[in-house]
Amino acid sequence: MTIWTPTLPPGDAPIYERLLDVLRADITAGALAAGTRLPPQRDLAHRLGLGLGTVTRAYVEAEKAGLVEAHVGRGSFVRGAATRAMAERAESGPINLAHNIAPRGPARARLAESMTRLRRRSDLADHLDYAPSAGHEAQRRSGAAWLARSGGVVGADWTRLVCTAGAQQGLALAFGAVARWGDSVLCEASTFYGVKALAEHMGYGLRGLAMDAEGLRPDALAEAAATGGFKVVMIQPTLQNPTGRIMSEDRRNQIVALARRHDLWIIEDDIYAVYATDAPPPFAVLAPERTFHVSGVSKSLAPGLRTGFLIVPQADLQDRVLRTVRALTYAPPSLGGLIASQWIEDGTADAIVSEVRADMTARLALAREILGPAVEAPMSDSAPHVWLPMSDLEAERLAGRALRRGVEVTPPAAPVVAAGLTTGVRLCLGAAADLETLEQGLRIVSAAVTDVDERLRAVI
């Protein structure tokens, strides 16, 4: 193997800067390929007749510039093009693979035109007043229509629908209707962090149940429910967060039977159903008498609209929900819901979702290409997040290495309810500004996966 021995050009610049310039030029020209190990600093200083401090400073500046990567005990290695480009962007912050949002381009492209049309609405000024506690009737009707065509809630009853300030408020209202301080709630072993935050704030205990390739296991639910003391099970049946798993219809029917047998309320978070058009019917269809169905447009159209939908199974529970709305917020926000309902009614929402799905399909294909077998096989071609199953220790190491290289992933402990059952790293594909940025982030994660694997093999 040829050892890199640069020839320093003449000039007035400090020697370390000239050495750095030669290193950069050789990397750019391909003379030093990604992964090439640079000579130890002391050896290079000896061969070039330079002081060790000069070479050390050049290596330090090269690492700051994203040209090389130093590993304690192993040496300095040339970084790949993607990681160098990311380092050049470091001033703008880490690449975001932590936030589960849709690509913003399709909604942004239509916002100005939508605002122009809003100005011409005869009822525009009405939305400066308080809305009814359940939301404006037109928005409730459009919400029910949207859930029917994008989420499979066939025959969704708009009179049972409550407009909310995002799906998170919908979850809070559903929990508040059937659980009290000190109650324990059943859920998946790893779940949406917002559920954990709600439970902590509202004084609930969470009991995480074992999962398999379809999500929540019926035998785990049956065993827990048989002990008594539980009234609520919270489930994400479609593209479960964080794992991306989808329950089969048979699995859903098994859980419905258990819920009826043990008199459990089902809180169904189906916010990602829009990304799995062939998913089985939601629990709101299979067990409408006991299911609180929560969804919204934050994950598909735009989070800033803060428009969510909650379908409540019974009239007395709806009264309870509306009393909570009046006590806490009095009414849902009107203007975001107005934009969402107009988009739903005139077809703009369908166009946005179509483009978002196409973008997500390309992003998911890129993730599968770069990460390969490290990714659990996605259950939808347009899944907005992917799951890298691994131990909690491996996950923490991966997250730390990725962040040091400029990529933020979901903190591995954030979704975990039951330690040791379902652990790993969730990668969100929609927040990166474009495919180029996403590719940079994914390649950094891929390198971090390799590093973690190598370290573990070394220990073994």
- The DSSP result for 280-311, as a single string, is PPPHHHH-TTTEEEEEESTTTT-GGG--EEEE
Shared-domain flag, residues 298 and 360: no
The whole domain housing 34 covers 15-79
- pLDDT of amino acid 290: 97
- Whether 118 is in a domain gets the answer no
In the chain, the amino acid numbered 310 is L
- The answer to whether the beta carbons of residues 179 and 204 sit under 8 Å apart is yes
Helix (H, G, I), strand (E, B) or coil at 381: coil
Shared-domain flag, residues 67 and 129: no
Instruction: Give the contacts of 449 (CB within 8 A, at least 6 positions apart).
Output: 371, 374, 388, 398
**C-alpha torsion angle, residues 205, 207, 213, 215 (rounded to 10):** -50
Alpha helices in 347-418 (DSSP H): 348-371, 392-404
**Closest alpha carbon to 407 in 380, 379, 438:** 438
- pLDDT of amino acid 92: 62
Helix (H, G, I), strand (E, B) or coil at 342: helix
- Whether 203 is in a domain gets the answer yes
Q: How many residues does the chain have?
A: 460
Mean pLDDT in order along the chain per 10 residues (460 residues): 80 86 84 86 89 88 81 78 50 84 90 87 88 95 96 94 96 96 95 93 95 97 93 97 97 98 97 94 97 96 93 95 95 92 94 95 96 94 96 93 92 91 95 93 92 53
- pLDDT of amino acid 181: 94
Name the phi and psi angles at 351, rounded to 5: -65, -40
Shared-domain flag, residues 321 and 355: no
- The answer to whether the beta carbons of residues 232 and 209 sit under 8 Å apart is no
Looking up residue 70, the CATH number of its domain turns out to be 1.10.10.10
Instruction: Count how many domains the chain has.
Output: 3
- Whether 112 is in a domain gets the answer no
What is d(CA 255, CA 425) in angstroms, rounded to the nearest whole number?
27
What is d(CA 54, CA 46) in angstroms, rounded to the nearest whole number?
11
Helix (H, G, I), strand (E, B) or coil at 217: coil
Helix (H, G, I), strand (E, B) or coil at 267: strand
Shared-domain flag, residues 363 and 338: no
**Helix, strand, coil in percent for the chain, rounding step 5:** 50, 15, 35
User: Tokens 């400029």 appear where?
Assistant: 406
- Whether 86 is in a domain gets the answer no
- Whether 219 is in a domain gets the answer yes
For the record, the structure tokens of 181 come out as 């301080």
- pLDDT of amino acid 459: 45
For the record, the structure tokens of 122 come out as 């005869």
152 φψ region: left (φ > 0), alpha (ψ -120 to 50), beta (else)? left
For the record, the structure tokens of 90 come out as 């470091």
- The answer to whether the beta carbons of residues 73 and 37 sit under 8 Å apart is no
Shared-domain flag, residues 54 and 97: no
- Whether 1 is in a domain gets the answer no
- Whether 209 is in a domain gets the answer yes
DSSP state of 432: S
- pLDDT of amino acid 460: 46
DSSP state of 160: G
User: Tokens 């949207």 appear where?
Assistant: 146
Looking up residue 167, the CATH number of its domain turns out to be 3.40.640.10
Helix (H, G, I), strand (E, B) or coil at 100: coil
Looking up residue 411, the CATH number of its domain turns out to be 3.90.1150.10
Shared-domain flag, residues 342 and 400: no
Shared-domain flag, residues 372 and 337: no
- pLDDT of amino acid 119: 87
Q: Which helix (H) or strand (E) holds 185?
A: strand 184-188
Shared-domain flag, residues 355 and 417: yes
Select from 316, 346, 376 the last residue of a domain: 346
- Count helices and strands (H / E) in the chain: 16, 15
In the chain, the amino acid numbered 429 is L
**Closest alpha carbon to 384 in 274, 307, 309, 262:** 274
Shared-domain flag, residues 200 and 226: yes
Select from 317, 346, 375 the last residue of a domain: 346
Select from 314, 346, 378 the last residue of a domain: 346
Shared-domain flag, residues 37 and 131: no
For the record, the structure tokens of 91 come out as 């001033």
Helix (H, G, I), strand (E, B) or coil at 259: helix
Shared-domain flag, residues 36 and 167: no
Separation in Å, CA 158 to CA 5, 55, 143, 178, 335? 74, 71, 7, 21, 19
What is d(CA 330, CA 54) in angstroms, rounded to the nearest whole number?
67
- Whether 87 is in a domain gets the answer no
For the record, the structure tokens of 200 come out as 């902590």
Alpha helices in 12-154 (DSSP H): 15-29, 41-48, 52-64, 81-88, 105-119, 137-151
Shared-domain flag, residues 303 and 402: no
